[in-house]
């Protein structure tokens, strides 16, 4: 925890997002530098080495459950940052951007899966090829919405038209990526897709009914009671989603969006819980994810291809978003800014990767690759936005 938080503070001092430093710091306390492995990182694996000594199975279980709760609350807060107003006003543009990101990463995942499956050690034992491909596509397509929001806020762009479009498109792309990972976890076939579609449709109906009710006068509870109810809903949605979809990420994200305009409860929750979630619980989740990451597993022989793949992810994702933004009528500067932010995977790439790792679809070697991709795409997001030349004064009119 101390290492992760210190690394986050150091990142801020050098102009990078805090979470980028936390991600790098989490890797430092894992097997990459310390060696060994924790128990249960893959089925049948036993703890060993310095990491195994420092993190016995009981401690890992506590950290895992704490990290899961932290990620549920984090996704709730992420959902609460997403304003549905621009999604209704520029729905076509936002869907085009989100689908272009998903499609580009899907095509890249198809090409990458063939290369990775030609070599042992990337696909989980017994995992279907389709599930492996879908898992790669989901992890690479997920967008770091909170990281993009923080970068936009630091540059005074969060409440502009560009900022609203980026956050909304990123949320749509991430939601689609999470649904894709759910299909992969359930087997990656048509039956899994159909079963998941029924679950998602039922959840959408419940949200449609519950969201207006939650904002009605009949549900105006005191802040403490409203927050308690909201936390209970988020936790139920997270662990229910884990049982039904294989991931804790979708339910609380949808719950956060549903209560985005929920008045004092939403404000109270962000004010009193936001710092704890981002400063304590999220680093715990990152630490748990890092305990499964050993960059040594990539090997020197695979290092150059892996770095080339990550560079390709950045370029292809940026290009897909840039071209879609241009087609939607944005100028070159605005489109470059949109591309730079939508290519950022960040903690969402790591979260999806950890889900599919625990489902046995990918190995720790692939998880190391995807974690590195999440870190690199986070580190380059700020510089890409800066290189676009977009400033608050140059941005389009504020979103309403």
Burial class (CB in 10 A: 0-12, 13-18, 19+), 397: exposed
The domain tally of the chain equals: 1
Locate all alpha helices (DSSP H) within the chain, ordered by sequence.
Answer: 2-13, 18-28, 31-34, 49-54, 57-80, 84-89, 91-117, 129-141, 145-154, 161-185, 190-214, 223-245, 250-258, 264-276, 282-290, 299-327, 332-342, 346-358, 364-388
In a domain, 400, yes or no: no
Q: Give the whole-angstrom CA distance, residue 269 versus residue 230.
A: 9
In a domain, 43, yes or no: no
In a domain, 296, yes or no: yes
Look at residue 47 and tell me whether its pLDDT is greater than 80.
no
In a domain, 394, yes or no: no
Q: What is the pLDDT of residues 247-257, one digit of tens each?
A: 777 778 777 77
Look at the chain and count its residues. Answer: 400
Please report which confidence band the pLDDT of residue 400 belongs to, taking 50, 70 and 90 as the band edges: very low
Q: Give the whole-angstrom CA distance, residue 177 versus residue 162.
A: 22
Q: What is the pLDDT of residues 127-141, one digit of tens each?
A: 888 899 999 999 999
For the chain, state the CA radius of gyration.
20
pTM as predicted: 0.80
Residue with tokens 């980028």: 20
Supply the CATH number for residue 339's domain: 1.20.1530.20
Q: What is the pLDDT of residues 145-203, one digit of tens each?
A: 878 877 887 778 877 888 888 888 888 898 889 888 888 888 777 776 776 666 666 66
Residue with tokens 């924790």: 38
In a domain, 28, yes or no: yes
pLDDT at 218: 42
**Is 148 within 8 Å of 163 (Cβ atoms)?**
no
Residue 292 lies in domain: 2-38+48-388
Q: What are phi and psi of 366, to 5 degrees?
A: -70, -35
In a domain, 9, yes or no: yes
| DSSP class of 176 | H
**Is 380 within 8 Å of 314 (Cβ atoms)?**
yes
Q: What is the pLDDT of residues 283-297, one digit of tens each?
A: 788 777 777 788 888
């Amino acid at each position: 925890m101390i290492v992760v938080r210190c690394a986050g503070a150091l990142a801020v001092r050098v102009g990078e997002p805090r979470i980028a430093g936390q991600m790098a710091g989490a890797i430092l306390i894992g097997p990459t530098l310390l060696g060994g492995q924790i128990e249960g990182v893959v089925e049948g694996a036993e703890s060993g080495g310095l990491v195994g000594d420092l993190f016995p199975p009981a401690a890992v279980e506590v950290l895992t459950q704490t990290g899961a709760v932290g990620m549920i609350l984090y996704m709730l807060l992420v959902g609460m940052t997403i304003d549905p107003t621009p999604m209704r006003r520029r729905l076509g543009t936002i869907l085009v951007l989100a689908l272009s990101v998903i499609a580009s990463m899907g095509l890249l995942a198809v090409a990458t899966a063939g290369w990775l499956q030609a070599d042992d050690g990337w696909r989980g034992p017994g995992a279907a090829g389709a599930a492996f491909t879908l898992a790669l596509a989901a992890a690479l397509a997920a967008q770091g919405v909170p990281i993009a929001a923080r970068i936009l806020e630091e540059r005074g762009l969060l409440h502009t038209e560009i900022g609203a479009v980026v956050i909304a498109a990123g949320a749509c792309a991430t939601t689609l990526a999470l649904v894709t990972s759910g299909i992969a976890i359930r087997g990656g076939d048509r039956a899994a897709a159909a079963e998941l579609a029924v679950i998602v449709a039922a959840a959408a109906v419940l949200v449609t009914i519950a969201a207006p009710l939650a904002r009605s006068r009949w549900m105006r509870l005191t802040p403490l009671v409203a927050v308690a109810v909201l936390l209970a809903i988020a936790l139920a949605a997270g662990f229910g989603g884990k049982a039904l979809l294989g991931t804790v990420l979708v339910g609380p994200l949808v719950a956060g969006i549903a209560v985005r305009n929920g008045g004092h409860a939403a404000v109270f929750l962000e004010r009193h819980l936001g710092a704890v979630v981002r400063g304590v619980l999220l680093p715990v989740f990152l630490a748990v994810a890092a305990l499964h990451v050993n960059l040594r597993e990539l090997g020197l022989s695979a290092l150059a291809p892996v770095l080339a793949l990550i560079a390709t992810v950045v370029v292809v994702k940026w290009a897909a978003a840039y071209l879609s933004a241009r087609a939607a009528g944005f100028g070159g500067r605005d489109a470059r800014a949109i591309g730079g932010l939508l290519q950022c995977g960040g903690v969402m790439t790591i979260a999806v990767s950890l889900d599919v790792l625990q489902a046995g679809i990918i190995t720790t070697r692939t998880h190391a690759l995807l974690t590195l991709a999440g870190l690199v795409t986070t580190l380059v997001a700020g510089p890409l936005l800066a290189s676009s030349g977009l400033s608050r004064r140059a941005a389009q009119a504020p979103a309403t």
